Amino acid sequence: MTAATGSAALEELFAAAKEAQAKAYAPYSRFRVGAALRSDTGRIHAGCNVENAAYPVGTCAEAGAIAAMILAGDHAIAEIVVLGEGPELCTPCGACRQRLREFAKASLTVHVAGPEGLRARFTLGELLPHSFGPDNLA
In contact, 98 and 113? CB cutoff 8 Å: no
Contact partners, residue 87, CB within 8 Å, separation at least 6: 114
In contact, 101 and 73? CB cutoff 8 Å: no
User: CA 49 from chain center: how many Å?
Assistant: 10
- Give me the CATH number covering residue 91: 3.40.140.10
In a domain, 111, yes or no: yes
Specify the pLDDT at position 3: 52
For 73, the domain range is 3-128
Instruction: Say what the pTM is.
Output: 0.94
Total structural domains within the chain? 1
In a domain, 134, yes or no: no
Specify the pLDDT at position 1: 41
Active site residues: 62
Sheet (strand 117-123) strand order: 44-48, 34-39, 77-83, 109-114, 117-123
pLDDT, tens digit, 9 for 90 and up, residues 48-88: 999 999 989 999 999 999 999 999 999 999 999 999 999 99
In a domain, 13, yes or no: yes
In a domain, 56, yes or no: yes
In a domain, 133, yes or no: no
In a domain, 136, yes or no: no
